């Protein structure tokens, strides 16, 4: 990093340093339902007699419906700015999560409630938060993205423990209401005062960062081979690793861990995802993004091997949780960073919305597939083998992106050099 770039990065953090922190809390809202679901699987099975696939089907419905809104919401963010979208989204998502407490025990009702949750996720997807941060940060965009997307790491750390404790103390219905209510009370005021991107500037602020105005057209982005490689990497990642993450507590309890100790080990996923995000952000600002991403997407293979060969060993379980956390801490960072590099920011919301569809699609079917594999074989081993294979394919897709071509770099952002 050159001296001029260092000075630019310092200036960005001095002016907008609180924005990524606020955006992180906003982004954590988007996964309230994902990282808490594992703690609810046992109580829901006990009360309603459902299979794990039936319970996970709710997340499938939410992710599929959410995918439909990715591109329109991205276009809305490009048009009116992320602030209004995000503020509405935090309230809607928190209320939608609380609605899950009204489940009656019929499959149709359960899926309908997750349809409500899906509508809440429309306005808190990663596009909203990364768009604001990308418009304020260029020299230190990798680290700014890392802090923003650490919101998911915070969620993966807190939600399993919080949900398990609330369920044990007050029951699963009260747990759903409490999680939704506590979150909106905490997060909305912070976003109201601190969350504002370049698109949300007042009329008196006429200066706009060049990076907020330049980039490829939406049509050109759709024709780019880079988009489809990123789609492949994003979709395969979310299908496998999110599937494992959602079922991580049951994976551990099936190996003999108590529910609370399993939740404690699962929380390591969140702790290490923070390390992964910050480390990835640091590396993305200094090294070629396609190489950083490919290496990050390879390491879950080691975690799968640990669970397959020594899954009952608490040390191996903790190591696997840490490794999955490192990758969960890098996936969206890598995809968002490379999207901004290859496509620029003029239509970032819409094009990143396309990639969000792949992430949402994988999230829709990964946990469902993991639950179905367990229901069929009474073991998650086959899904862990599949995870290792598909993560290798994701890494290859990212590696073959190569560095950003000079033309793309010029279109992407005024001061951004090629990815290499």
pLDDT surpassing 90 at residue 216: no
CB 63 within 8 A of CB 31: no
Q: Which residue has the higher pLDDT, 205 or 355?
A: 355
Residue where the block lists tokens 């903790």: 318
pLDDT surpassing 70 at residue 418: no
- Say what the pLDDT of residue 201 is: 61
pLDDT tens for each residue of 286-303: 888 889 989 989 999 999
- Full-model pTM: 0.70
pLDDT tens for each residue of 244-300: 888 888 888 887 777 778 888 888 887 888 888 888 888 888 888 889 989 989 999
Q: How far apart are CA 65 and CA 204, in angstroms?
A: 39
- Say what the pLDDT of residue 356 is: 82
pLDDT band at 209 (very low <50, low <70, confident <90, very high): very low
- Say what the pLDDT of residue 2 is: 55
pLDDT surpassing 60 at residue 165: yes
Alpha-carbon distance values, 81 to 24, 92, 127, 128 (Å): 17, 18, 11, 8
pLDDT surpassing 90 at residue 232: yes
pLDDT surpassing 90 at residue 393: yes
- Say what the pLDDT of residue 405 is: 64
pLDDT tens for each residue of 63-78: 888 888 888 888 888 8
Q: How far apart are CA 199 and CA 132, in angstroms?
A: 7
pLDDT band at 417 (very low <50, low <70, confident <90, very high): very low
User: Looking at residue 348, what DSSP letter applies?
Assistant: H
- Say what the pLDDT of residue 84 is: 93
pLDDT band at 5 (very low <50, low <70, confident <90, very high): low
pLDDT band at 233 (very low <50, low <70, confident <90, very high): very high
Q: Phi/psi at 344 (nearest 5 deg)?
A: 75, -170
Angle between helix axes 52-68 and 348-377 (nearest 10 degrees) is: 170
What CATH number does domain 18-196+211-412 carry, 3.50.50.60, 3.60.20.10, 1.20.1250.20, 3.40.50.700? Answer: 1.20.1250.20
Mean pLDDT, residues 17-34 taken together: 92
pLDDT tens for each residue of 89-133: 999 999 999 999 999 999 899 999 999 999 999 899 888 998 899
Mean pLDDT, residues 184-210 taken together: 73
Q: How far apart are CA 402 and CA 231, in angstroms?
A: 15
Q: Phi/psi at 215 (nearest 5 deg)?
A: 150, 175
- Say what the pLDDT of residue 411 is: 43
Mean pLDDT (the chain) is 84
Q: Which residue has the higher pLDDT, 31 or 4?
A: 31
Q: Which residue has the higher pLDDT, 206 or 223?
A: 223
pLDDT tens for each residue of 317-376: 889 899 988 887 677 788 888 988 888 877 888 888 888 888 888 877 888 898 889 888
pLDDT above 90: percentage of residues in the chain:
33
Q: How far apart are CA 44 and CA 160, in angstroms?
A: 15
CB 63 within 8 A of CB 361: yes
Which class for 326: exposed (0-12), middle (13-18), buried (19 or more C-beta within 10 A)?
buried
pLDDT surpassing 80 at residue 86: yes
pLDDT band at 414 (very low <50, low <70, confident <90, very high): very low
């Amino acid at each position: 990093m050159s001296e001029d770039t260092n000075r630019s990065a310092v200036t960005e953090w001095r002016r907008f340093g609180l924005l990524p922190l606020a955006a992180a809390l906003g982004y954590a809202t988007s996964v309230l339902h994902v990282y808490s679901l594992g703690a609810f699987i046992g109580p829901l099975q006990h009360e309603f007699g459902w299979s794990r696939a039936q319970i996970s089907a709710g997340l499938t419905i939410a992710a599929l419906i959410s995918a439909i809104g990715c591109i329109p919401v991205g276009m809305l963010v490009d048009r009116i700015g992320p602030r209004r979208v995000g503020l509405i989204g935090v309230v809607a998502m928190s209320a939608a999560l609380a609605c899950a407490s009204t489940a009656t025990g019929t499959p149709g009702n359960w899926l309908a409630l997750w349809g409500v949750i899906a509508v809440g996720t429309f306005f808190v997807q990663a596009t909203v938060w990364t768009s604001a941060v990308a418009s304020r940060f260029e020299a230190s965009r990798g680290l700014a993205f890392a802090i923003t997307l650490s919101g998911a790491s915070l969620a993966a750390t807190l939600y399993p423990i919080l949900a398990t404790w609330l369920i044990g103390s007050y029951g699963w219905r009260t747990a759903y209401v409490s999680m939704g209510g506590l979150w909106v009370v905490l997060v909305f005021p912070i976003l109201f005062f601190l969350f504002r991107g370049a698109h949300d500037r007042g009329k008196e602020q006429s200066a706009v960062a060049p990076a907020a105005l330049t980039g490829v057209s939406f049509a050109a982005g759709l024709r780019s081979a880079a988009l489809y490689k990123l789609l492949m990497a994003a979709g395969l990642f979310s299908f496998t690793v999110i599937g494992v993450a959602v079922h991580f507590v049951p994976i551990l309890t099936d190996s003999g861990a108590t529910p609370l100790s399993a939740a404690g080990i699962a929380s390591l996923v969140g702790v290490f995802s923070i390390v992964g995000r910050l480390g990835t952000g640091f590396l993305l600002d200094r090294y070629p993004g396609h190489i950083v991403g490919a290496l990050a997407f390879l390491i879950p293979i080691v975690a799968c091997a640990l669970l397959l060969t020594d899954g009952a060993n608490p040390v191996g379980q903790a190591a696997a949780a840490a490794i999955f956390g490192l990758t969960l801490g890098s996936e969206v960072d890598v995809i968002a960073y490379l999207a901004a590099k290859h496509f620029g920011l003029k239509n970032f919301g819409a094009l990143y919305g396309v990639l969000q569809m792949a992430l949402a699609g994988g999230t829709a079917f990964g946990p469902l597939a993991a639950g179905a594999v367990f229901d069929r074989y009474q073991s998650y081993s086959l899904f862990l083998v599949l995870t290792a294979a598909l993560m290798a394919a994701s890494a290859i897709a990212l590696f073959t992106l190569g560095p950003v071509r000079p033309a793309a770099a010029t279109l992407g952002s005024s001061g951004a050099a090629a990815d290499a």
